[in-house]
Amino acid sequence: MPTIRSSADLRNRYNEISTFCHDSSEPVFITKNGKGDLAVMSIEAYEQLVGRHELYGLIQEGLSDVAEGKTRPFSEAMSDLRSRRKR
């Protein structure tokens, strides 16, 4: 279940919310005037989320390349990598 706190709680209980975010690696949703406004999370959780998003984008790019026939044999790709490494 998501943790929801008010903007006043963020202002008045910042340390408590920060500790929760670091300990749980979960975001805290902040409301303003009773409506959702922000999601607060630790830097570590944010970096993990962004990294996962980038990875999924690269996987999708690879799947698109396969679907479009932009591939070559594994042995050819490895040979190319080995020759680049020797330079």
For residue 6, the cross-strand partners are 31
Question: What pLDDT sits at residue 41?
Answer: 98
pTM given for the model: 0.75
Query: Which residue numbers in the chain have pLDDT < 50?
Result: none
Q: What DSSP character marks residue 31?
A: E
CATH number at 3-41: 3.40.1620.10
Question: What pLDDT sits at residue 52?
Answer: 98
Question: What pLDDT sits at residue 26?
Answer: 96
Question: What pLDDT sits at residue 86?
Answer: 83
| Domain edges within the chain | 3-41, 44-86
Question: What pLDDT sits at residue 47?
Answer: 98
The answer to whether 4 and 27 have CB atoms below 8 angstroms apart is: no
Question: What pLDDT sits at residue 87?
Answer: 74
Helices (H), 1-87: 7-12, 14-24, 43-67, 74-86
